[in-house]
Amino acid sequence: MLKKETKSTKKTQIKREWHLIDVKDEVLGRQAVKIARLIIGKGKSYYVSYMDCGDYVVVVNGAEIGLTGRKEKGKKYYRHSGYPGGFKSETVEELRERKPEEILKKAVWGMLPKNKLRAKMIKRLIVFKGSEHSYQDKFKKD
């Protein structure tokens, strides 16, 4: 009987690609899932859960991402400073005024694996408010 060996992924095998995504008038959750899969590297043949195999993702028009239903006023983001009385909350509407690109980052952050790789992975997500970005040289010209 012939034994087949499983080959484990090496760091040298990981090839990082660059993806450009325009989220103008798209639904937040649907785009966040696609972005999270690219950042994690789930679509790659050499994907393993214990290594960071993902790609870089540049998102343009991050300020114009849409939400369904009444989430603009109803959905809230919470944070706490760690001090007594340091609890703060804000709606999506307020966050969009202050930092519109942060809405997409928070959605993708929640979809990444909850382990030590999460902080490394989110660094490969670059979100721009408008359509202008400074990464033109990273994308292949056809």
Q: Give pLDDT tens digits for 29-49.
A: 999 999 999 999 999 999 999
Residue 130 carries which DSSP code?
S
Q: Which CATH architecture has domain 14-67+102-131?
A: Alpha-Beta Complex (3.90)
Q: How far is CA 102 from CA 44, 79, 82, 107, in A?
A: 27, 14, 21, 9
* DSSP H or E segment with residue 121: helix 117-122
What tens digit of pLDDT does each residue of 60-110 get? 999 999 999 999 999 999 999 999 999 999 999 999 999 999 999 999 999
Residue 6 has pLDDT above 80, yes or no: no
Q: Please determine, for residue 5, whether its predicted confidence score (pLDDT) is greater than 90.
A: no
Distance CA 113, CA 28 (A): 19
pTM of this structure:
0.90
Residue range 104-138, pLDDT digits in tens: 999 999 999 999 999 999 999 999 999 999 998 88
Residue 105, both tokens: 């980052």
Indicate the SS3 state at residue 64: helix
Domain assignments of the chain as residue spans, ordered by start: 14-67+102-131
Q: Which two tokens stand for residue 107?
A: 């959605």
What pLDDT is attached to residue 142? 52
Q: Show Cβ contacts of residue 126 under 8 Å, excluding neighbours closer than 6 positions.
A: 56, 57, 58, 59, 133, 135
